[in-house]
A and B are shown apart, each in its own frame.
Chain A
């Protein structure tokens, strides 16, 4: 594994470049196909409302995959991610309109561990909602 960021070169408290990711209905359809998760709450508004949701919501796993892009872009080698965990705190509602949803992700170097390991804490928001909690990625840096 070869990372562009090095263990010696990072400091606790360092912010990763933040990103805003647009999410449209079509993205959820494509992700359903790629992941094999065809739960209709992620593409069928009638079904989503029937089961008590306000509208179609993004796959939690889609949000999880999107948020960690901050980390993989920063380190270069995605194979250097050795641990990644999240809680899904709020659903990301994806309306069927021009705007869709927007996922705003920030990351900070939270801890430097042994063995070249560094923990990054992520926050992800959609509008005013914090959609991921305890989102942490551990990476092994060169």
Chain B
């Protein structure tokens, strides 16, 4: 089912502020199995020049994925979330996310297309502090896989 093209260009208001906490950074680092002290030890992070614990390079997904749900889980879009897989992801940082940051995400729908029956949507999430400082842009492409062919139409392998 094709997605609603009128979503392209839509820009959403900033999301409710997210408090980046030391414990969440520690939890995320443990979940990815990374013992880098910059993620867990405040003195180690400060020795590298950061004000507090630094978040891992993909940590922004905690904020950006939830924010993109404004788009991808909107029934009006027509996306079948049960068939969604992640196609591409990019993070572009102005500065690293650190514990103590208070961040909002401004989501824009960048692109919608179809390819071989799959629906593809790209959203951009601009992550900014509540005082307006740009921190990171997160670009996410999701693919809703085409339905499996009916048994009688499958080409025998």
Contact = CB atoms under 8 A, between A and B. Distances in A.
Interface of A: 1-2, 21, 27, 30-31, 33-37, 39, 41, 51-52, 59-62, 64-66, 68-69, 71-73, 76-79, 81-88, 91, 137
A88 B56 CA distance: 19
Nearest to A64: B58
B144 to A, nearest CB: 11
Contact of B89 (A1, A39, A85, A137): A85
A71 B84 CA distance: 29
A53 B26 CA distance: 32
Contacts of A35: 28, 31, 61-62, 65
A34 B33 CA distance: 12
Contacts of A30: 30-31
A64 B34 CA distance: 13
B33 A27 contact: yes
B58 A84 contact: yes
A21 B34 CA distance: 11
Interface residues of B, number: 41
A1 B85 CA distance: 35
12 contacts: A33-B31, A37-B61, A60-B89, A61-B61, A62-B32, A64-B89, A69-B32, A79-B38, A83-B91, A84-B58, A86-B88, A86-B90
B83 A51 contact: yes
A118 to B, nearest CB: 15
A52 B32 contact: no
B27 interface: yes
B5 interface: no
- Counting chain A CB atoms within 10 Å of each CB, which of B66, B84, B85 scores highest? B85
A66 B91 contact: no
Interface in B97-121: 98
A81 B93 contact: yes
A36 B63 CA distance: 9
